[in-house]
Structure 1
Amino acid sequence: MRIVIAGGHGRIALRLERLLAERGDEVAGMIRRPGQAGDLLAAGAEPVVCDLESAGVADVSRHLEGADAAVFAAGAGPGSGSARKETVDRAAAVLFADAAEAAGVRRFVVVSSMGADREPPEGTDPVFAAYLRAKGAADADIRSRAGLDWTILRPGRLTDEPGTGRVALSAGSTGRGDVARDDVAAVLAALLSEDERGAVGLTLELIGGDTPVAEAVRGLAGQPG
């Protein structure tokens, strides 16, 4: 498979690129800064310089031509203000989906956030509230598209602890919890397997748990969206 990842220098994306390259997939990661290319090459991915905040659909779609799947793992990141939550976490996700449709790429996976479907509680930090709203709006847009075989993955609180290879993954609610970035990447890789279609059309919650990743992903078949 050829898989193109937006936000290719992110901490989840670099882990995912390594996993996909190790199993023999062809991986490209979109980055904004040419100086990040070395990290992608070390992970086994082709670096593609493309700024989703300034590019147009045609610019992005040419990088997606011939791909079997696209993954939106970009984010404005810590230290960014509310405005960039809108331009990256919402608008760039919508642009990437538009480009995937234009390039004929049906399989589309989004790394979102737990809590993105709800209005943030009163007292939530304003920037974090803007992030959740942006993620929720992007997810709603993706879910409305008949031209994409989409899956939205909403991890709990991310950690850099070593992955356990065991998770709780559900199209319902998992409850709050932590999850290692290693395990998020492993779940994404499993969702992108050529023979794994049970997660299409599902919005999933993910935290650390007791079920091996491959088993958790296989168990999604038949779950209501």
Structure 2
Amino acid sequence: MTTLIIGANGKIGRRLCEQAAHRGHPVRAMVRDERQKAFFESLGIDTIMGDLTGEMAHALEGCDQVVFTAGSGASTGLDHTLMVDLNGAMRAIDLAKAHGIRRFFMVSTLHVDPLEGPEKLRPYLVAKRAADAYLQSSGLEQVILRPGRLSDDAGSGRIETDAEQATTADVSRDNVATALLTLLERHAPLPTEIVLLDGNKPIEQMLG
């Protein structure tokens, strides 16, 4: 079962690809810059050029599931936020359906209501909210991951999925990647939404 990673060169995407290569889970990394290919090819990962704002349909051919972990980045303008975080996500969902792909994993945000998030991030949060709603109405088997404030701390392999029980609003990118890989390998029915925060419960136990 091959998984297309959209946003493979991002901080979560790279970690997910590294973990997948280590576990022998087949993934395809979609990148938009030739210079990004060497990292993934050194891991033995199938790598393909594709662009959320351009040609990308070919990247989904032969894949069974999709992970969307792309982001426009904090330094880009609102136009790029719309084209990547909203329209790019919607295009990926449409293309997944067109290719007969049944499972779609969206890395989203803990802030379901954009007005509850930081003011400078609200346009991004609006885009994520709309993209999530589009996925929820798509008919695809879906998982929307809602990580807290992302950190580069080493992964503990332990999480909390109940925000009210959590002792932190943070989650390491390593733990998000491990949670994703655990879900990708899961054959049982999937939860449709998962809050991800650092915690004390083993990821395999919670999500496997």
TM-score, normalised relative to structure 2: 0.93
1:157 maps to 149
**1:6 and 1:30 in contact (8 A); partners too:** yes
Q: Which amino acid aligns with 1:166?
A: R
The unaligned stretches of length 5 or more in structure 1 are 219-225
In structure 2, distance between residues paired with 1:52 and 1:69 = 17
The match for 1:204 is: 194
Could you say which residue in structure 2 is the equivalent of 1:222?
none
Encode CA deviations 1:145-196: one digit per residue, 9 max, x unaligned. Answer: 11x11000010011111010000124x7666611111000000001101424
User: Matches of residues 1-225 of structure 1 in structure 2 within 5 Å?
Assistant: 1-55=1-55, 59-60=56-57, 62-115=58-111, 117-121=112-116, 124-125=119-120, 128-146=121-139, 148-170=140-162, 177-199=169-191, 202-218=192-208
- Identity of paired residues, percent? 35
| Number of residue equivalences | 207
Q: Distance in 1 between matches of 2:93 and 2:115?
A: 25
2:133 counterpart letter in structure 1:
A
Shift, 1:42, TM fit: 2.8
What is the CA deviation profile of residues 62-113 of structure 1, one whole-angstrom value per residue up to 9, with x for unaligned ones?
A: 3212212110011101211121111111110110011111111101101111
Question: Could you state the TM-score of these two structures normalised by the residue count of structure 1?
Answer: 0.86
Moved beyond 4 Å, runs of 4+: 172-176
SS at match of 2:63: coil
Stretches of structure 2 lacking an aligned partner (at least 5 in a row): none
Q: Look up the match of 1:221.
A: none
Query: What is the alpha-carbon root mean square deviation over aligned residues?
Result: 1.8
